[in-house]
Amino acid sequence: MQSSSESTTAANTTRTPLRLGIAGCSLARLRYGPAIPLTSRVQVVSLADPDAKLMRAWSRVLGGDIETFADPPALMASASVPDALIIDVPLAERAETILAAIPLCRGLLCAPPFAATIEETDRILHSAAVHDTWLVPAFPRRFDPVLAQAIELARTGEVGLLQQIRCDWSFPLSSAYGAELGADPDAGTWAELLQYVGCHAADVCRWCFGDILTVSADVDDHIPPTAASGRRDTGPLLANLVLGQEDGPATCHFSLSRAVNASERYSFTGSLGQLEVVLSASTHPAEAFPTLVLHRQGIRPQTLPSPEFPDDDLPASVFRARAMLDDFADRVQSGASAGGSGDAARAALEVVHAAYFSARDGRKVTLPLRRSPEL
């Protein structure tokens, strides 16, 4: 997947919009609802969801002639299957829905993981390869221009020789936060949420440092209670992953937060200092783009200016979603081979599942994995 968030070229805007269906409106409307009207690259022609009232309300907002269906099988059995599909059904139904859609659609955009296990994921990737279907994981952080700038600065020596990446996430266990990452609306337990949070963090690490070769981890299998008193904002650690990668090590830390809003930040440590990217925090406006801070020894922290890009007045989540939709449409309509398009989702999932193996057995796990643990 591209790491840039460049605007669609004038040549692309002259293309016929991609005929797009959406399976799973309750989640998809949260992530893509504000972005779809802002792009000319896609045209929603069908919706599938058990909630007929929700579909009618959303179809009125989207406008145009939109067919509605009670479930994805009904959509795919219709006479006018869309060219591409956004799949946002619960994880338990995801693999079946993807496999049914692959022979019928040229492209599928789906939140990772594609399936609950690596075995199921491998079956999906094989089917997509056989049918030459674009199977694209929804990794919106790949389309954040500030995060892209931070990774570029870290790679090109802004903090000297890059030595380590650190991902820090703290969050309240709420369905709203889980849904933003592609989790089921009822994913309220730590074990369920880690599948989604871990995939996104692992993908950022892969974006910067290349393939992940080994995983060492400590993972709690329950939700520790937060402190009853005191002023600390962060509760007990829930998981700690140490990743051995092609170009350097990375660590991912996940903990509970007593704050209402989730916190997400990335630190790039080099021989001359540290570059910190704050995507979200209790003091960071929810829809603002990330802030980029340079730390050097003996010098006060310096907030670096954001890169210039079109439509920087949009909410950050809307900007990322629109850029992801435009990129997806470009890929599906390019005529290029779709080989390997879903590999990033598998690579991210196996990091999470390797963490469970490592925590259970007390050892470093070498990738790739051939099977998933019993969760």
pLDDT digits (tens, 9 = 90+) for 87-103: 999 999 999 999 999 99
Decide if 106 is inside a domain.
yes
DSSP 8-state code for residue 284: B
Same domain, 131 and 174: no
Same domain, 291 and 206: yes
Give the amino acid at 110.
Answer: C
Decide if 325 is inside a domain.
yes
Write down which residue in 293, 309, 325 finishes a domain: 309
Write down which residue in 309, 329, 354 finishes a domain: 309
CA distances from 295 to 263, 273, 304 (A): 19, 6, 10
The structure tokens listed for 373 are: 């643990």
What are the DSSP E strand ranges found in 83-189? 84-87, 107-110, 134-137, 162-171
Residues sharing a CB contact under 8 Å with residue 322, sequence separation 6 or more, in sequence order: 35, 38, 39, 314
Same domain, 118 and 45: yes
**Residue 274 is part of a domain; what is its CATH number?**
3.30.360.10
Return d(Cα 185, Cα 179) in angstroms, integer: 6
8 Å CB contact between 304 and 293: yes
Return d(Cα 110, Cα 140) in angstroms, integer: 11
pLDDT 10s digits, 116-131: 999 999 999 999 999 9
The structure tokens listed for 347 are: 């690579």
Same domain, 102 and 29: yes
Decide if 363 is inside a domain.
no
3-state secondary structure at position 366: strand
**Residue 37 is part of a domain; what is its CATH number?**
3.40.50.720
Q: Which backbone phi and psi does 345 adopt, to 5 degrees? A: -70, -40
pLDDT 10s digits, 161-219: 999 999 999 877 555 566 667 777 666 567 778 888 899 999 999 999 999 999 999 99
Do β-strands 365-366 and 299-304 pair in parallel, antiparallel, or remain unpaired?
unpaired
Same domain, 255 and 337: no
Inter-helix orientation angle 25-32/52-62, to 10°: 30
Decide if 359 is inside a domain.
no
8 Å CB contact between 86 and 341: no
Average pLDDT, the chain: 89
- The neighbour count for residue 294, using CB atoms within 10 Å, is 18
- In the prediction, which pLDDT does 226 show? 45
Same domain, 32 and 58: yes
User: Before 301, cis peptide (omega within 30)?
Assistant: no
What are the DSSP E strand ranges found in the chain? 18-23, 42-48, 67-69, 84-87, 107-110, 134-137, 162-171, 212-219, 234-245, 248-257, 263-270, 273-280, 291-296, 299-304, 365-366
Same domain, 123 and 61: yes
The structure tokens listed for 324 are: 């992801």
- In the prediction, which pLDDT does 2 show? 46
DSSP letters for 296-363 = ETTEEEEEEPPPP-TTTTS-HHHHHHHHHHHHHHHHHHS----TTTTHHHHHHHHHHHHHHHHHHHTS
Residues sharing a CB contact under 8 Å with residue 130, sequence separation 6 or more, in sequence order: none
Same domain, 296 and 229: yes
- In this prediction, residues 229-248 reach a mean pLDDT of 74
Smallest CA-to-CA distance from 290 within 322, 263, 325, 323 is with 263
Decide if 324 is inside a domain.
yes
Smallest CA-to-CA distance from 142 within 8, 303, 323, 309 is with 323
Q: Domain range holding 74?
A: 10-140+317-342
Same domain, 107 and 160: no
Decide if 350 is inside a domain.
no
Q: Give the confidence band of 10 by pLDDT, cuts at 50, 70, 90.
A: very low
User: Before 368, cis peptide (omega within 30)?
Assistant: yes
Same domain, 160 and 65: no
Same domain, 182 and 111: no
Decide if 46 is inside a domain.
yes
Same domain, 55 and 147: no
Decide if 261 is inside a domain.
yes
Look at the chain and report how many structural domains it folds into: 2
**Bigger pLDDT: 15 or 311?**
311
Q: Look up the pTM and report it.
A: 0.91
Largest Cα–Cα separation, the chain: 67
